[in-house]
């Protein structure tokens, strides 16, 4: 299962608006994607509830994992999203 470690660029992390945008993008992907903080259990990247309870803050690393067809492309899209400061 491919994975990527990404630093969240948004200053306030994955709070309500960026979290909603992230989960929408995750649901659009062909592969099933999870996200988690290093050393913690990953959560479904397409679930707004899971993303909000993850508590991912700006500057923190998260690990994205994808499984299924299009896994690398799914990771590319979500990594690119996390590398943009959506609060700027």
86 catalytic? Reply is no
- Smallest Cα–Cα separation from 81: which of 2, 5, 10? 10
* Catalytic position from the list 8, 15, 23, 82: 15
Three-class DSSP labels, 4-31: EEEECCCCCCCCHHHHHHHHHHHHHCCC
Question: Which residues are marked as active site?
Answer: 15
């Amino acid at each position: 299962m491919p994975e990527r470690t990404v630093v969240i660029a948004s200053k306030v992390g994955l709070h309500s608006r960026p979290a909603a945008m992230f989960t929408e993008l995750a649901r659009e992907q062909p592969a099933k994607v999870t996200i988690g903080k290093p050393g913690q259990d990953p959560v479904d990247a397409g679930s707004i509830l899971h993303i909000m309870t993850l508590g991912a803050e700006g500057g923190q690393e998260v690990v994205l994992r994808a499984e299924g067809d299009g896994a690398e492309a799914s990771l590319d899209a979500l990594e690119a999203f996390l590398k943009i400061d959506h609060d700027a």
